[in-house]
């Protein structure tokens, strides 16, 4: 096993290696972060270079494809370099899969970006993809190679259970998140009834919410909004306001990918939300120690999947949704 990290996900990769080495099997050597250098040209072009041999190795390349598009290009170039250096297998580990919101033609004459990215990864030479909380589950079908799709519920559900909330309800910020909210509520109903609330929203345009209506029993509930990402935080903050105005005791949020673009952090700090939990699939070093926005790590989950896939062990026990 050889593990490399592109520039956008080096911190995450180091945490994955730490988790891998904490559970080294008898007779196995500890994993190290492989040497990867990127030569930058004056016009912005760049070229990655593996500084150690990968011949015959199973190569894991970690990179979240967050903006700018250079991060995706860097991952594609690294996959190509590994294949040309005679790696046996190349596995792309993508904590955050960019362009996932473009999973269908929702308007005439638009691209299906998620399918294009899937084609690019396959054309570059990836033999397998590991990713987390895709915006739409059907994106797995865009690939003709195996996809390991892990869920942040693996880390969020134990946190929610540990808090011991009474009168708990799970909310989806929009109709598309109903399946996720129902799955969380089902997992949390073991110790008592956990309701589901759906927030129906209408948009004026992308990233601009016109109106939100809450469907379900809200009054007297401690509500946790679950979602796959927070971008501008407009939907989340408006949904929290609607829930509180309808009689909720408190509103919290758990979202996998903290994109947090524009004034998102400021909006979250000024919102009625008690707490916001995101994962480290997208790096946010500026939020370390933040009193309201807290980060939980997905590195142990990815480390477990990487280890089991490498050793041909079943990974179904690691999937909670």
The rounded distance, in Å, linking the Cα atoms of 44 and 73 is 12
Instruction: Please list the alpha-helical segments (H only) found in the chain.
Output: 10-22, 70-84, 113-124, 153-163, 178-188, 234-245, 264-269, 299-310
Which 8-state DSSP code applies to residue 59? E
Q: Which one from 201, 219, 221, 263 is the annotated catalytic residue?
A: 201
Contact by Cβ (8 Å): 121, 86: no
| DSSP-derived 3-state class of residue 273 | coil
The rounded distance, in Å, linking the Cα atoms of 137 and 89 is 25
**Which of 163, 153, 162 minimizes the C-alpha distance to 187?**
153
The rounded distance, in Å, linking the Cα atoms of 185 and 81 is 44
Give catalytic status of residue 201 as yes or no: yes
The catalytic residue positions are 201
């Amino acid at each position: 096993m050889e593990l490399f990290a592109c520039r956008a996900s080096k911190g995450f990769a180091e945490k994955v290696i730490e988790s891998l080495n904490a559970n080294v099997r008898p007779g196995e050597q500890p994993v190290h972060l492989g040497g990867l250098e990127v030569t930058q040209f004056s016009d912005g072009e760049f070229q990655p270079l593996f500084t150690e041999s990968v011949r015959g190795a199973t190569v894991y390349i970690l990179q979240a494809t967050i903006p700018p598009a250079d991060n995706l290009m860097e991952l594609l170039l690294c996959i190509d370099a590994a294949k040309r250096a005679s790696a046996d297998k190349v596995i792309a580990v993508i904590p955050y899969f960019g362009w996932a919101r473009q999973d269908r033609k929702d308007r005439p004459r638009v691209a299906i970006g998620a399918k294009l990215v899937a084609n690019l990864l396959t054309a570059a030479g990836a033999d397998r993809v590991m990713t987390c909380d895709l915006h739409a589950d059907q994106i797995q079908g865009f690939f003709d190679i195996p996809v390991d799709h892990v869920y942040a519920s693996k880390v969020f559900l134990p946190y929610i259970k540990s808090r011991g909330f009474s009168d708990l309800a799970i909310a989806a910020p929009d109709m598309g998140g109903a399946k996720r909210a129902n799955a969380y509520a089902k997992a949390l109903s073991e110790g008592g009834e956990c309701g589901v609330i759906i927030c129906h929203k209408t948009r004026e345009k992308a990233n601009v919410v016109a109106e939100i209506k809450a469907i379900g029993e809200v009054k007297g509930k401690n509500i946790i909004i679950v979602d796959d990402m927070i971008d501008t935080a407009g939907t989340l903050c408006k949904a929290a306001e609607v829930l509180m105005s309808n009689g909720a005791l408190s509103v919290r949020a758990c979202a996998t990918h903290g994109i947090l673009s524009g004034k998102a952090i400021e909006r979250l700090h000024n919102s009625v939300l008690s707490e916001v939990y995101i994962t480290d699939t997208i790096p946010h070093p500026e939020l370390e120690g933040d009193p309201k926005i807290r980060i939980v790590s997905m590195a142990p989950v990815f480390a477990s999947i990487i280890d089991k896939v490498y050793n041909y062990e079943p990974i179904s026990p690691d999937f909670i949704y």
